[in-house]
Structure 1
Amino acid sequence: MLMPSIFGNDFMDDFFVFPQERKTTPTAKANLMQTDVKETETGYEVVIDLPGYSKENVNAELKDGYLIISATTSTNDEEKSEDGKYIRKERYSGSCQRSFYVGEDITHEDIKAKFENGTLKLDIPKKEAQPKVEQKKTIAIE
């Protein structure tokens, strides 16, 4: 008897769910770039899980006060029988991206990043927002 899966990983998914639909399931979204943000005395520690990604395919950039983390991957699994006929041939290519607002005062030199064993760790310092100095503008009266 077939039972529904309570963990979102039913073996029948391979037969009845198209790959485009599989990517949009809640379970797939929950497993993509799981992030932990911890506040420390001097700043924030951000840890992002990126299993299956290599360091060369992970990019971090700072733009308009937003820290943007993106990653791309592609795989090509091929299995052939002895006579050269395909038994299975699968290809996957994908990317993911997340962004975090870190403030306008943070520069790319301030952020320290380290990628190890499929985990990206970022150290972002706290900076006090500099109050904008209001310039007094006088109007000339004739």
Structure 2
Amino acid sequence: MSKDIRKKKRFKSTSGDDVYIAQTSGHCTIVGPDWTDLHERFHNDAYANGCISEDMIKNTSMGDVDASVVNTMNNIALQKNEIADAMRKLVRDNDLDSFDSKGKPKSPVLTSMVGFRVTNAVRDEVWYKVQEQDNDLT
């Protein structure tokens, strides 16, 4: 396969909002509510951020499995948004007791704020993105 031929899939945001994807390599992209061609380097990040690819949908209607995947991805995206909002509230309120020694929000505090279990892995992922987004705004 030629290096000029790139594997692309079309993705869209399931939340209706733009999804910003930034990689440590410096590559960035935005996936909106409309279908967008994405280079293969962004595929995993797009899925992880709650986007769906066109090949997940068959014809104009989804099968039970596809609908289940979309619902799961929607739920994950919504949960991550709730966690991010809770993190921003902790920062705004300057609630230092809610942060650990490394400066990250404590998972049990986030769990009590959002009403569902927040693992350390999810906390770290969302915290990184919140810091990235908030740094972009300043």
Q: Which is strand-richer, 1 or 2? A: 1
- Name the TM-score class by shorter chain: under 0.3
Higher helix share: 2
- TM-score between both structures, scaled by the size of structure 2: 0.23
Which structure has more relative contact order (CA 8 Å, sep 6+)? It is 1
